[in-house]
Amino acid sequence: MDHKILETARELIDEVGYPALTIDQVAARAGVGKAAIYRRYASKAEMAFIATVHGQWPPPQPDTGSLHGDLLELARTYHTLLAAPASRHVAPALMSELAVNPELVTRFQDNFQAAELAGLAEIIQRAVARGELARPVDPAIAHLLLIGSHVAALYLFHQHVDDTTVTSLATATTAGLIALADQE
């Protein structure tokens, strides 16, 4: 049922756009009751976000053999998801809801952010094992540097983000993590 709801939401977002999307439409086309949708998702924005951005979450963690390579591949994966047309409509709507809904913040942190942080922790641990980082650093800092700056560029500043920008974000994040790990 979850798959059908999310697939239907994606289809409708492509057909009618996020602003015109309704839970009623999703329920009718997916052949489920509205209550089934609301048991799974706190809002239209959360459902649409999961359908468009977090549908394949968390992404597989890259293992390129270097910290920079791993962060670059992860940044490219995030960019593909975050820069998609549907995501450009859905993510800002979710951010608006997060600003006023503490329960949704908790769900977002527990379900999505925790998975992202776990993936970054894995990347950091591999970098420590390879000797690229002197010690582990807080994955939340890596998250802010790599993903937070990407989200800000796309959704707050409405900047064009291309592969050069994505590469620069990964390079800056790598340098920042190395500098943090070298601090005593």
* Cα dist from 171 to 82, 164, 168, whole Å: 19, 10, 5
Task: Using alpha carbons, select from 111, 116, 180 the residue that is nearest to residue 143.
Answer: 116
Q: pTM for the full model?
A: 0.83
How confident is the prediction along the chain (184 residues), in pLDDT tens digits per residue?
Answer: 888 999 999 889 888 888 899 999 999 999 999 999 999 988 888 888 888 876 655 667 789 999 999 999 999 998 988 898 878 888 888 888 888 888 888 888 888 888 889 999 999 999 999 999 999 999 999 999 999 999 999 999 999 999 999 999 999 999 999 999 999 6
DSSP per-residue letters across 63-122:
--SSHHHHHHHHHHHHHHHHTSHHHHHHHHHHHHHHHH-HHHHHHHIIIIIHHHHHHHHH
Give the chain's domains with CATH numbers: 2-40 (1.10.10.60), 60-182 (1.10.357.10)
Return the biggest CA–CA distance within the chain. 58
Residue 154 burial (CB count, 10 A): 21
DSSP per-residue letters across 35-56:
HHHHHH-SSHHHHHHHHHTSTT
